C-alpha cells in the first residue's frame, strides 16, 4: 500500500487555470455558487440584523441563538440544494478544501472558491451598509484563543464529514437525497453548540464579510485556519478510511 501522502496526491488532478475559468461549465458553477452564497448570507446575516432591529440592539438571548441557528440551517439547506447539480453546492471554502481530495482540480478549487467568497462578502457589504450595521465574529469573554481555534476545527470537521457521507461518497445511495437537509441541520446544530463561544463561523468567507464591514479583525485568523484545517482533516479521514475506490459494482439507487 502506498504512503498516505502519495495516495492523496494521486487523487488530485492538476488543470490549467486559464482553460478552466473560461470553460462554460466553470462559468455556470461560478454563477450557481454566487447565487447560493447570496441566499445563505442573506438568510444567516439577515437574521442577526433582524434580531438587532426587533430588540433595538439588545443583548443576545437564547431565542436569538435559536433564530440564528434556524436561519442559517434553512438558508444553507436551500443554498446547497439549488446548486448541487451545477457546482456541487459547496457554499463554503472549507468544504471545497476538504472535497478537493477526491476529484476536483486545484485550479478549479482556487478559482471558484475565491470568486464565490469574494462575491458573497461583497453582497454582505452592500446589504449591511444599506440597511443595518453588523459586527465581526469575536470570542466570548473567558474563552482562550486556542480553545476557540479547536472549537472551529471540530465544528467544521463535523460539517465537512457530513458533506462527504451524504453527498460525496459514491456509496451514498438514497442518502444523497437528504444531503442538503443533513448539511443544513449540522450547521444549525453547531451554531446552537458553538454560537455563544466563537460565533460558529465554520466558513472563512462568512467570517470575512462582517469583519470587512465592521473593520474588526481581532483573532480573525481563527476563522480561516480553524475551518480549513477541520475541513481538510474531515476530507482526508473520510477519503482514506471510508471510501473504497475499486471496480466492483456499488450498491444504491444511483447505480
Q: What is the pLDDT of residues 120-138, one digit of tens each?
A: 555 555 555 555 666 667 8
Checking if the pLDDT of 111 tops 50, the result is no
Query: What's the rounded mean pLDDT across residues 46-58?
Result: 83
pLDDT digits (tens, 9 = 90+) for 138-189: 888 889 999 999 999 999 999 999 999 998 888 888 888 999 999 999 999 9
pLDDT recorded at residue 6: 55
Under the banding of pLDDT at 50, 70 and 90, the label for residue 49 is confident
Query: CA–CA separation, 190 vs 204, rounded Å?
Result: 15
Dist. CA 221–CA 203, nearest whole Å: 12
Residue with the bigger pLDDT between 34 and 63: it is: 63
* CA dihedral angle for residue 42, residue 47, residue 53, residue 56, rounded to 10 degrees: -140
Of 44 and 81, the structure prediction assigns the larger pLDDT to: 81
Q: Average of pLDDT values for 31-60?
A: 82
Specify the pLDDT at position 24: 75
- Structural contact between residues 174 and 255, judged by C-beta atoms closer than 8 angstroms: no
Buried-state track 168-206, b at ≥16 Cβ within 10 A, e below 16:
bbeebeeebeebbbbbbbbbbbbbbebbebbbbbbbbbb
Grid coordinates representing 203 are 466558513
pLDDT at 160: 93
What is the distance between the alpha carbons of residues 37 and 25, in angstroms, rounded to a whole number? 18
Instruction: Label residue 255 by pLDDT band (50, 70, 90).
Output: very low
Report how far apart, in Å, the C-alpha atoms of 3 and of each of 100, 102, 234 are: 19, 17, 18
Q: What are phi and psi of 218, to 5 degrees?
A: -65, 125
- pLDDT, averaged across the chain: 78
Residue pair 214/135 in contact (Cβ under 8 Å)? The answer is yes
Contact in structure between 68 and 195 (CB atoms under 8 Å): yes
Residue position matching grid coordinates 468544504: 95
Q: Alpha-carbon distance 229 to 147, whole Å?
A: 15
246-253's contacts with Cβ under 8 Å and 24+ in sequence apart are 250/170, 250/171, 251/171, 251/173, 252/171, 252/172, 252/173, 252/174, 253/173, 253/174
Asked whether residue 191 carries a pLDDT value surpassing 90, the answer given is yes
Q: What is the pLDDT of residue 166?
A: 92
At 76, is the pLDDT very low, low, confident or very high (cuts 50, 70, 90)?
Answer: very high
Q: Quick one: average pLDDT of 56-62? A: 81
Per-residue pLDDT for 62 more than 80? yes
pTM of the model: 0.79
Average pLDDT in the 212-234 region?
87
- Domains of the chain (ranges, CATH numbers): 4-242 (1.20.1080.10)
Amino acid at each position: 500500500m502506498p504512503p498516505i501522502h502519495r495516495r492523496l496526491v494521486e487523487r488530485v488532478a492538476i488543470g490549467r487555470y486559464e482553460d478552466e475559468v473560461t470553460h462554460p461549465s466553470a462559468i455556470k458553477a461560478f454563477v450557481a455558487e454566487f447565487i447560493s452564497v447570496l441566499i445563505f448570507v442573506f438568510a444567516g446575516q439577515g437574521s442577526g440584523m433582524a434580531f438587532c432591529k426587533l430588540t433595538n440592539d439588545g443583548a443576545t438571548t437564547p431565542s436569538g441563538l435559536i433564530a440564528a441557528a434556524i436561519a442559517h440551517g434553512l438558508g444553507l439547506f436551500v443554498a446547497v440544494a439549488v446548486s448541487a447539480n451545477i457546482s456541487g453546492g459547496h457554499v463554503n471554502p472549507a468544504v471545497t478544501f476538504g472535497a478537493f481530495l477526491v476529484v476536483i482540480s486545484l485550479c478549479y478549487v482556487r478559482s471558484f472558491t475565491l470568486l464565490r467568497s469574494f462575491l458573497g462578502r461583497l453582497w454582505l457589504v452592500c446589504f449591511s451598509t444599506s440597511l443595518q450595521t453588523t459586527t465581526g465574529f469575536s470570542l466570548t469573554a473567558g474563552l482562550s484563543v486556542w480553545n476557540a481555534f479547536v472549537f472551529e476545527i471540530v465544528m467544521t470537521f463535523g460539517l465537512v464529514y457530513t458533506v462527504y457521507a451524504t453527498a460525496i461518497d459514491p456509496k451514498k445511495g438514497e442518502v444523497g437525497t437528504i444531503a442538503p437537509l443533513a448539511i443544513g441541520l449540522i450547521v444549525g446544530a453547531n451554531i446552537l453548540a458553538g454560537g455563544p463561544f466563537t460565533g460558529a463561523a465554520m466558513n472563512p468567507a462568512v467570517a470575512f464579510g462582517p469583519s470587512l464591514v465592521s473593520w474588526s479583525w481581532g483573532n480573525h485568523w481563527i476563522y480561516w485556519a480553524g475551518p480549513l484545517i477541520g475541513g481538510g482533516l474531515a476530507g482526508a479521514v473520510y477519503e482514506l478510511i471510508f471510501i473504497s475506490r475499486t471496480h466492483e459494482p456499488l450498491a444504491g439507487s444511483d447505480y
